[in-house]
A and B are shown apart, each in its own frame.
Chain A
Amino acid sequence: MNTNTPHPTNTVPSASTVPSASSVASENAKGAAMDPRPVLLDINKLSIEYRTKRGKLKAVHEASLRIRKGESVAIIGESGCGKTTLATSIVHMLPRNATISGGSIGFFPEGKAEIRLEALPEKEMRAVRWNDIVMMFQASQSSFNPVAKIRTQFLDTFQAHNPEISTDDALNRSRELLELVFLNADAVLNSFPHELSGGMKQRTLIALSLLLDPQLVILDEPTTALDLITQKKILNLLNSLRDSCGFSMMFITHDLGIVTQLADRVVTMYAGVVVENAPTADFFSTPLHPYSQGLLRAIPKLNATFEQLYSIPGSTPDLVDKMDGCLFAPRCAHCHARCLTEIPALRQTDNDRWVACHLYEEVTHGAY
C-alpha cells in the first residue's frame, strides 16, 4: 500500500527551508484564479463537538477546505483526528451526541443555487444524499444491511431514488458497475454481505456509490482491504470515471500511496484542525507542517533498512482540554515560545497551498 509513494524527504526541513514568498497576489488569498474549476463544496470554519462524560470533545475545530468540480481531495491525519467526523457532517449522519458548533458547509450543485448543508432540514437532505452526494463509510459495515442480499440492496437504492426504472435495467446497471470493480457480478449479487471478503465488500460499496451518478463521492478508507494489483485497477477506474463523469471526490485514507495516485490535493488534519492544504505533488516533495513531515517520514519502504523506520514521538493531545497554542507543540521539534501561547492560523504560503504553523508566518499571505 504505502509503497507506491514517492520518496518523501527523509529529513525534517528546518525553518530555513520554508518556501520563499512567492509572487502570488495576496488579494488572491483564496486561490480562486489558480484553479479555474468552479467550487462544488466550501467548508468554512466548521467546528464539531461530541458531548462526552468529561465535557465537550472538540473533534473538528474551525476546519476550512474547498472541493472543486472534478477535483479529488484526500484527507489524511492521525487516527482519531476528526476525519470521519468532518466527512460525516457533510451528509448529516453524525452520531446523536455530536453538534455542529460553528461554521458552514456550502454546496454548489451545477445549475442550482447554493445549498447550506449545515442548516438543511432532514427532508431536503434526503434528496441531496445519494442523488448529489454519496458517502461510503469506513469498514463498509454500516453501509450494508447484514440480512439482505446485495442484489436487494442495489435494487432498493436504485428504486428509492429512481422509481421509474425497471428491475431489469437496474440489475443490468448494477452488474455493469460490479464488473467494473473486477467482481463476479452474479455471484456477488446473490451473496449476503458476510459471504464477501473484506476487499470484495469494499469494491461492492464503490460500485454502489456510483450507481446514481452523484456529483460528490465521499469515500472513508475505501481500499484498506485491497491487494496492490486490485487497488491499482480500482484507482485507475476511479480516475477514468472521474474524467468521464466529472464527479468530485473526497476520500479519507492512511495509505499515502493511494493519495499519490488518486488525489489532486491533500488536506492534513491534526487533532481536529486542518494544518496543511496543498497540491499532491508539492505536499510529497516539500511537506511544510512538522506533523506532515513526520507522517511522511513514517512510511515504510520496500527497500529501506529498518533503522530508518520512524514514528512521531509523543501522543495525541486531549481534545477535551481548552487549547492555548499549537496542538502539535508537545511533539514538535521546532516548537518555540510563540507556539505555546498562540494558535497558528491556516495561512497561504504559496500559489495554492496553506499551512497552520508559526514557522511560516513571514512567508504567508492571507488567511484561508
Chain B
Amino acid sequence: MALIELAGLEKSFHNRKTGDTQVLRGIDLAIEEGQTVCVVGESGCGKTTLGKILAGLQGYTGGTYTYRGQEVATLKGKLWKQYRTDVQMIHQNPYESLNPTQMVFDIISAPIKHHRKIRDFAVLYQEVVRLLEMVGLTPVDDFIDKYPVNLSGGQRQRVSIARILCMNPKFIVVDEATSMIDTSLRISLLATLKRIQEELKVAYLYITHDLALGRYFAWGQRLAVMYLGEVIELGPTGDVVEDPHHPYTKAILSAGSIATDNSYDLKGVDIPSFQHIPSGCSLSPRCPEMIPGVCNVVKPPLHTTSPGRCVACHLYAAEGPRTTEGPRSTENLGTTEGQRSTENPRTGQGRNA
C-alpha cells in the first residue's frame, strides 16, 4: 500500500462572479514511504494547490486521495489527528506562514511540546538549539528570541524548515522552500533533508522551478511535470532531465540550459488560463510540434513509454501519432523526427512493459 495515492484528483475554486474554476484536472500519483517526487511546472499551474491538498490544508473536490489506504476526506478523530501530524508542508512564502506574534523559540518548541510531549525546559531548549544549528541559524542566541519581523527572508524560510523537522513527519511538501536562501546554504539544507529522508524514511513532494536543484534532490527518484492542472510527464528524474519527451518539458529544460545554440521554444503569444482551457491538448496553442486536426481536437492520454515513465502527448501514441487528412508538412518536425515514426522505439518498449 502506497503512503499516498491520488486517483483523478480534482480541485475547483468557487467564485460568486465567475463560477467554478477547476485548477487540478485529474491527477494520478502514488508516493511510497521514503520516496521523493519532484514537481515542476509553469507559474500558476497548480503546484501549490496540489501540495496544500496533500498536506491536508485544503480539501479536494473530485477524485480520491488515500493516506495509508484511507480516504483522507473521511478521516476523523484520532486518525485525522495522526494524519495531520504525519503530513506537513513547508510553505512557499515564509512571510505568510510564520505566526508574527511568536518568538522563534516558541515557533519551534510548540510543536515539539505538542507532538513529542517533551515538557522539561532544558530538554526542549537543547532540542531547539539543535534544530536551529541544523538549518544554519547561528549564533543560536541571536535568533532564539527574535520575532519573524526581525528575520531576513531566508532566515524565515529556515525557521519554517526547522519547525517542520521537529515534528518527525512521514511526508513533507516542500514548496520552493529554499528560494530565498543563497546557493551555498541551499545545498547544505537540501543535504540535510536528504539525510533525514534516509534516517527516518520521510517522503517528499518537492516543488521547485530550479531544475538543477530538483535533479539533485530527486536523483534516483521521480520527476513530475505539470501543465494547466495536469501531470503531463512523469518518470525517473535522470531520464526525464536527460531525455525529455513532452514538448513542454523540452522547453523548460531548454530555458534552463547553458547552451543557447539549439533552443527549443514554445510559441509564446498565448497566456494559458484555467478559464479558457484549449480543446484537445492543453499545450496545443503554444506547442511547436502541434499536429493540426489532432492535437487541437483530441486530448492526449498518458502514454507509458517505458516502465515507470509516461507522457501525455500524441507524439508518443503506441500506434504513432494520429495523422490528419491532408499531408503534414515536415518542416516543423524538429528534433523529434525519429519519434514521429510508427516504429517508435520508446513506445514499443512501453507496450512490452
Residues of A within 8 A of B (CB): 1-7, 50, 52-54, 57, 76-80, 83-84, 95, 97, 138-142, 179, 182-184, 187, 190, 195-200, 203, 220-221, 224-233, 254-257, 294-295, 298-302, 304, 306, 309-312, 315-316, 318-320
Contacts and interface: CB of A to CB of B under 8 A. Distances in A.
| Residue with the highest number of chain A CB atoms closer than 10 Å, among B179, B211, B215, B273 | B179
A302 B44 contact: no
B209 A225 contact: yes
B121 to A, nearest CB: 19
A227 B252 contact: yes
A232 B255 contact: yes
B94 to A, nearest CB: 7
A77 B182 CA distance: 7
Contacts of B18: 187, 190
B183 interface: yes
B130 to A, nearest CB: 15
| Residue with the highest number of chain A CB atoms closer than 10 Å, among B43, B180, B182, B253 | B43
A300 B146 CA distance: 32
Given A226-B43, A227-B43, A233 B93 contact: no
Given A79-B154, A142-B95, 17 more contacts: A3-B211, A4-B255, A7-B258, A77-B182, A78-B184, A79-B158, A79-B185, A80-B152, A139-B94, A141-B95, A187-B275, A225-B209, A229-B266, A232-B255, A254-B154, A300-B216, A302-B253
B29 interface: no
Interface residues of B, number: 65
Contact of B183 (A231, A233, A299): A299
Contact of A225 (B138, B176, B266, B268): B176
A295 B176 contact: no
A224 B179 contact: yes
A302 to B, nearest CB: 5
Q: Is the interface of A mostly helix, strand, loop or mixed?
A: loop
A138 B155 CA distance: 13
Nearest to A190: B17
B141 A54 contact: yes
Given A3-B258, A79-B152, A318-B139, A295 B180 contact: no
Interface in B178-226: 179-188, 191, 209-213, 215-216, 219
B62 interface: no
Interface in B149-182: 149-155, 157-158, 176, 179-182
A190 B19 CA distance: 13
B158 A230 contact: no
A79 B210 contact: no
B93 A139 contact: yes
Interface in B254-276: 255-258, 266, 268, 271, 273, 275
